Every structure is written in structure tokens, then in C-alpha cells.
Amino acid sequence: MKTIKDMAKHSRPREKLRERGASALTDQELVAAILGRGIQGVDIVTMSRDVARLIRKHKENLSVEHLTSVPGMGLAKAAQILSAFELARRYLLKETVKIKGAKDVLPLLADIAGKQQEYFVCISLNGANEVIERRIVTIGLVNSSQIHPREVFADVIADRAAAVIFAHNHPSGSPKPSDVDIKTHKQLTEAGKILGLRILDHIIVTKRGYFSFQQAGLIG
């Protein structure tokens, strides 16, 4: 029975991960790195190969029952695999949100619509108009939030975004843009053009409704 210790040290999954990073490991090696060792009568190479095959087959539907069907895989080892999957799902994997119009953005702004302070939000998107990140840039006093392009675009650039959507709420309840809103929008649009970023929309939200600069023909 072949064990981890029988492998050349540089080929052992955990040592390889330390030296070259997790991305350098095959599916089978990643499984072996999680499990650590086999059990008497079942070597880790065979076990990790069988588990990797099940992962590729069942993907997000992988279950305890699938894993424990593999010789040597008891509840404890199955729990290690499934727990790793769940942590990745919670903290690393994000549901893709594709923006086709203002209504697709509104769920991302629901938390600020009724705020009594003005929140300015920036949403960065990739070339397929899929959301990369949504951030609150500033929180200001009622009707007075000072926005600077440097603050707005710093993280967008770090995201390697292709496009951006601006949004803010109006505590007054009226979604109609003010003169200050229009001036700020023009300033940010000019900065975006210099940076090579597409401005998809600027949305104002309130409890009563919303205003889309794109729908109003104000996106140049």
C-alpha cells in the first residue's frame, strides 16, 4: 500500500502546495492534501483518485453518501471534503449577477433606499457586464455627500473592471436628480473616460422609486 511517505518529498501534496501554491496541485492531489492519509488497507492515492472522480461527476450535488461509498471514506473524511466546499462557497464563490438594465441593479441597492443619510455606491463590472463588486464609497449628511473621483475609482481599477455603475439614495424621498447630482455625474463620467471605463448607469434610489440616468438619456 502506497502512503504519502512513500512519495518523493517534493511530490507530496502538502509540500508541493507549500512550495508552489494550491493552484499547482491536480484535483487528486488537492483531495490528498485535505485527507492527509489513507487507512489500513486503502492507500491515499487510490482514495483521493476515487474522491476526485466523484467531485468531477457530482460537483455541487456531492453528498456524504457519495463520498462514504468510497472504500476508506468514513463520515470524518467525508466531512472534511464537504466542509472545505462549504467554506469556499460562503467566502470565495459569488453568484454571478449580470446587469442588463436598471432593474437588475435595484436589488443591490435595496439596503440604502430608505437610509436617512446619503450613501454613494459604486458597482464594478467585467466586460460581460457581470458584477465584480459593490461598494459603499461615502456616507454623507442629508443632501451633502462629497464625492471625489479618486475615492470612486481606486477600487474599480484594482478590480480590473471594464465598466462601472454609480448609485446613491435620496433621503428626501424624491428620486429626481439635483443640480449637484448632475454635476457630480458629469465629473465622474469624464474621469471614467480618461481611465477607459464604460459608465453604464447612475441610479438614484428612494423608498418611492428610482431614477436611471441611462433610461433618461443622460449617459454620454
Within the chain, what is the greatest distance between any pair of CA atoms?
A: 76
Give the domain-ending residue among 91, 126, 152: 91
Number of folded domains in the chain? 2
Confidence of residue 66 (pLDDT cuts 50, 70, 90): very high
* Average pLDDT rounded to a whole number, residues 49-67: 94
| Domain presence at residue 96 | no
140-190 pLDDT, tens digit per residue, is 854 445 788 888 999 999 999 999 999 999 999 999 999 999 999 999 999
Distance CA 218, CA 185 (A): 9
Residue 144 in any domain: the answer is yes
Domain assignment present for 218: no
Q: According to the model, what pLDDT value does residue 5 have?
A: 60
Q: Which of 43, 59, 91 is the last residue of a domain?
A: 91
pLDDT for 4 equals: 59
Neighbours of 114 (CB within 10 A): 13
Same domain, 57 and 146: no
Residues 125 and 187 in one domain: yes
| Distance in angstroms (rounded) separating the CA atoms of residues 111 and 99 | 18
CB contact set of 153 (below 8 Å; sequence gap of 6+): 122, 164, 191, 192, 195, 197
- Is residue 8, in this structure, part of any structural domain at all? yes
Does residue 117 sit within a domain?
yes
36 with 4: CB under 8 angstroms? yes
User: Which residues constitute the domain of residue 165?
Assistant: 102-212
Give the CATH number of the domain where residue 166 resides: 3.40.140.10
Domain co-membership, 113 together with 201: yes
Query: Nearest CA to 204 among 148, 165, 163, 147?
Result: 165
- Give 191-209 pLDDT, tens digit per residue: 999 999 999 999 999 999 9
- The whole-model pTM stands at 0.60
Q: Do 75 and 138 share a structural domain? A: no
Judge if 71 and 141 occupy the same domain: no
**The residue type at 74:** G
Dihedral of alpha carbons 36, 40, 43, 46, sign: negative
